[in-house]
Amino acid sequence: MRRRELISLVGGVAAAWPLAARAQQPARPLIGFLNSASPSAYAPMVAAFQDGLNQTGFVDGRDVAIEYHWAEGDYDLLPWFAATLVNHKVAVIISGGGPAALAAKSATTTIPIIFSSRADPVQIGLITALKQAGSNITGIVSMSDGFVAKQIKLMHAVAPSATLIAVLVNPSNPNNPKEISEARGAQALLGIKTTVLQARTSREIDAAFAKLAELKVDTLVIGADPYFDSQLDKFAALAARFGMPTIHPLREFVTFGGLMSYGPDLANAYRLAGIYTGRILNGEKPVDLPVQQSTKVELAVNLKTAKTFNLTVPQSVLGTADEVIE
């Protein structure tokens, strides 16, 4: 064989080796991330989820790939997004919120599903029991039982002269009936009047605030809902515009200028979901992982906003706050 032919042959074989090696390397597992909210609102939750993954030895971009789908409040998109993830043969689906988890459940009975939900997953029909969720589904519950009632009590403590408190809920959220029931219970307990308004779009939120002014509502409680989580800046701006003291479940609300926030620590719940995801990628089965309950809650107060409303936040509230913006 001539030297030139030999060099060409060796060079060709050498060039083929990296390609062959790459072809033999297994593809990184693909994680499907399905959420009803927006990526901007849930940036802390995504970071916490990835931290949980890291704790089990998986780093995004190195050991796994993540495909994100955000409905940004359009819950009608969730079934299509869930079907897309199934078609892409993801190894596991992470679903945030009741609507997203229900969409994932309807899309597959074989791909593992990890949910993070503030709604009671048994009550909304996601699982049959906390101890035995199902063959392919488990997750983290940041149970919101009693949170609306607690929010109403906090608003009453900050604005004791309030006689009419409104609760805003999303009628598309399966947890809606429970929140309304809690509002009615708080009304009877505190001896105040409550009214329930509903909104599922940005335009309906605008209309709800106009209705609040018409009804001469004193304070507003915003229910736990992924779409509402995506509207923190809008809620804060409308609350300031209408002079409406408002409380929201997410801690980030006060950083946008909202008065108060009280609700589950969603970042902690997503960190736990990340750990469960890693355990499943390491070979464990959802049926062997019982639903966990994240019990961490957060209270935050914006004293600057309280001053604009001429409200004095009592020490009983400030003393239990996790964050106070002065």
pLDDT tens sequence across 145-185: 678 889 999 999 999 999 899 999 999 888 888 888 888 87
- CATH class of the domain at 30-142+265-295: alpha beta
* Residue 220 CA, distance from chain mean position: 21
Q: What is the pTM of this model?
A: 0.84
Bridge-based pairing state of the strands 260-264 and 297-302: antiparallel
Confidence of residue 122 (pLDDT cuts 50, 70, 90): confident
State how far the Cα of 214 lies from the Cα of 139, in Å rounded to an integer: 42
pLDDT in tens, 43-57: 999 999 999 999 999
Type of residue numbered 126 = L
User: Locate tokens 């809008």: which residue?
Assistant: 234
Residue environment code for 164-179, b if the CB has 16+ CB neighbours within 10 A, otherwise e: ebbbbbbebbbbbebb
Secondary structure of residue 60 in the 3-state scheme: strand
pLDDT in tens, 256-269: 999 999 999 999 99
Structure tokens at 249: 């479940």
CATH for 147-263+298-325 is 3.40.50.2300
pLDDT in tens, 270-295: 999 999 999 999 999 998 999 998 88
Domain ranges of the chain: 30-142+265-295, 147-263+298-325
pLDDT of residue 124: 86
Type of residue numbered 45 = M
Q: How would you class 54 by CB atoms within 10 Å of its CB: exposed for 0-12, middle for 13-18, buried for 19 or more?
A: middle
pLDDT in tens, 14-32: 344 344 444 444 579 999 9
What is the sign of the dihedral through the CA atoms of 304, 305, 309 and 315? negative
Structure tokens at 122: 């048994």
Please indicate whether the domains covering 30-142+265-295 and 147-263+298-325 agree at the CATH topology level.
yes
Q: What is the mean pLDDT of the chain?
A: 88
Nearest residue to 30 (alpha-carbon basis) of 61, 71, 73, 74? 61
State how far the Cα of 199 lies from the Cα of 205, in Å rounded to an integer: 5
Share of residues in the chain with pLDDT > 70 (%):
90
Share of residues in the chain with pLDDT > 90 (%):
65
State how far the Cα of 280 lies from the Cα of 101, in Å rounded to an integer: 17
Lowest mean pLDDT among 129-133, 181-185, 239-243, 281-285: 129-133
Which letter does DSSP use for residue 64 in this model? Answer: B
Nearest residue to 132 (alpha-carbon basis) of 287, 295, 309? 287
State how far the Cα of 79 lies from the Cα of 164, in Å rounded to an integer: 38
Segment 301-315 shows an average pLDDT of 96
Contact 94, 31 (CB under 8 A): yes
Q: Where are the alpha helices (DSSP H) in 76-161?
A: 78-87, 98-107, 147-158
State how far the Cα of 214 lies from the Cα of 304, in Å rounded to an integer: 26
pLDDT of residue 145: 64
State how far the Cα of 256 lies from the Cα of 275, in Å rounded to an integer: 30
